[in-house]
Structure 1
Amino acid sequence: MISDHRFIANFEKYRYLLVQLIKRDIQVKYRNSMLGIFWSFLEPLLTMIMFTIIFSYIFKRDIPNFPVYYLIGRVAFSLFQSGTTGAMKSIIGNSAILRSVYVPKYLFALASVGSAFVTFLLSLIILVAVMIVTNVHFTIYVIFASLPVLVLLLMTLGVGLILATVTVFFRDIEHLYGVFTMLLMYGSAVFYPASIIPAKWQFLLTINPFYAIISCMRTVLMNGTLYNTGELLYATVFSILCLVVGMGLFYKYQNKFLLHL
């Protein structure tokens, strides 16, 4: 593994490039859109309205504030899905640059996650606005929402690095991953209450680290209380493991990327 000193020096040297890559990814994402980056606000708002109309009546007894409940799950899922999908395609999508000039390859995956995180932060403005409109009581525990968000960011980067590495050698991963993210959304109680899942299948939520993250976020933002630290610890360990594996795989195989691009 690369030494901490070399990694930090390398990161500092190319930090400006990373910022430019993040800007480029955001610009490319909204390049052909009239509203541009404002879709970062409108997309979660419009989907929230649609899902509220469809599901709020069905789940009104189980979810007191469906718009906020859904938005928390939605913005978290969008960060993970967008960040990991972008990272997965980052090496292949920038093959022309990698062939012509030396650039640390991990910057492209990191930039994809970074641009997804910027969009996530913009989406939080809509979440806060809806919380205010629906009279959610803000407590001091709101600041603890930053911890599950950080864990989610680590998980996104770790999974993104794993996907970026594997996809170079196995292109079918791009198609399979779309199915996986769909299953993840339906298996994480993003838009339905966890209580409707039969008791014999509840363990699926228990072992789902992504659900643990959004559950922690909902607890502090909606209930105004501190989440189960064991739940957050489980998600943290899983995220760190993903990051370690992702960094290890990426560093081990990055010198072979050009042979497969």
Structure 2
Amino acid sequence: MEIFKYRNLIKELVIRDIKVKYKKSILGILWSILNPLLMMMVMTVVFSTIFKSSIPNFPMYLIIGQTLFTFFSETTNMALMSIIYSAGLIKKVYIPKYIFPFSKSLFALSNLFFSLIAVFIVAIFTKIEFSFYILLFPLPIFLLFLFSFGIGLIVATYSVFFRDIAHLYQILLLIWTYVTPIFYPITILPGNLVKTILYNPLFCYITFARDLILERKISDIKLVSLCFLYSLVSMILGMYIFKKNEKQFIFYI
């Protein structure tokens, strides 16, 4: 109900972020389409020769993983500093403080929609066979959005009290990038890591999305259940930590 009540403010915050991001940019929103395409082309040239025998349709495999991981990274990174950057507004008027990381998450989601155009373009050029399962593609995106928002609430909370979180989180994201099979197959991981890969939520969401498009099937019930579980736990934990500490924000921002 609060989100509905403040829907106009949320809308203005998202529009403001879009304007700021593409201000004085000649190509503007087109960069959200070109960027994943260019990154996919570069990484395909670099890695396709190495993994072409174990990853059919490497460009599509890569751009799905790259696009979803970028969405998670952008959502949480922007949420991380959202309370601090909104200090002036928070000190002047009452606004539910979670509105700020939520608006950042919606902004990242809007960028994702444009990036998915790049995914669609690659699907056409690589002659992906479209099936009924592609209609379920919004499901892993929605679950990933919930998971990312929950993590965003957590890092936004702790960054208010510990500014070093911003730097530490970048290191964590870098490590997370390499332990998530974005540009390499899971089969190259050491045996002990393969056994624990399901503990990586991003692997679950990316695999769920890849299975729908590349394998034209729904992932096994264990992986899909984990996707729901990670989203639920992330949201509950994120809201709990955020609500528990939000009254103290005013003393630290």
Q: TM-score, normalised by structure 2?
A: 0.97
* Aligned counterparts of 2:213 and 2:248: Cα–Cα separation in 1: 45
Cα offset for 1:235? Answer: 2.1
Query: 97, 100, 109: which one pairs with 1:105?
Result: 97
- The answer to whether residue 134 in structure 2 is matched with residue 142 in structure 1 is yes
Whether contact under 8 Å (1:25, 1:111) holds in the other structure is no
Kindly indicate whether residue 82 of structure 2 is the aligned counterpart of residue 90 of structure 1.
Answer: yes
Secondary structure at the aligned position of 1:56 is classed as helix
Q: Deviations over 1:219-256 (max 9, x none)?
A: 11011112112101112112211111111111121111
> What is the deviation of 1:210?
0.9
Residue 255 of structure 1 aligns to which amino acid in structure 2?
A: K
Structure-1 separation of matches of 2:167 and 2:25: 25
Aligned counterpart in structure 1 of residue 156 of structure 2, from 156, 164, 180:
164
Task: State the SS of the aligned residue for 2:81.
Answer: helix
User: Which segment drifts farther, 72-81 or 33-42?
Assistant: 33-42
Aligned to 2:179: 187
C-alpha deviation, 1:203, in angstroms? 2.3
Matches within 5 A, 1:241-260: 241-260=233-252
For residues 73-122 of structure 1, what are the alpha-carbon distances to aligned partners after superposition, in whole Å with 9 as ceiling and x for unaligned? 01101110000111111000111111122222111100100000000011
Q: TM-score, normalised by structure 1?
A: 0.94
After TM superposition, what 4+ stretches of structure 1 lie above 3 angstroms from structure 2? none
Aligned length: 253
TM-align CA RMSD:
1.1
Q: 1:177 aligns with which of 169, 175, 186?
A: 169
Identity %: 37
Rounded to whole Å, the distance in 1 between the matches of 2:147 and 2:246 is 20
In structure 1, the partner of 2:223 is 231
Given candidates 7, 14, 19, the residue that maps to 1:15 is 7
Shift of 1:32: 4.3
Q: CA deviation at 1:24?
A: 1.1
Q: How does 1:51-70 map to 2 (within 5 A)?
A: 51-70=43-62
The residue number in structure 1 matching 2:109 is 117
Q: Which amino acid aligns with 1:165?
A: T
1:208 and 2:200 matched: yes
Deviation at 1:34, TM superposition (A): 2.6
State the one-letter code of the partner of 1:226.
I
Larger displacement relative to structure 2 (212-221 or 140-149): 140-149
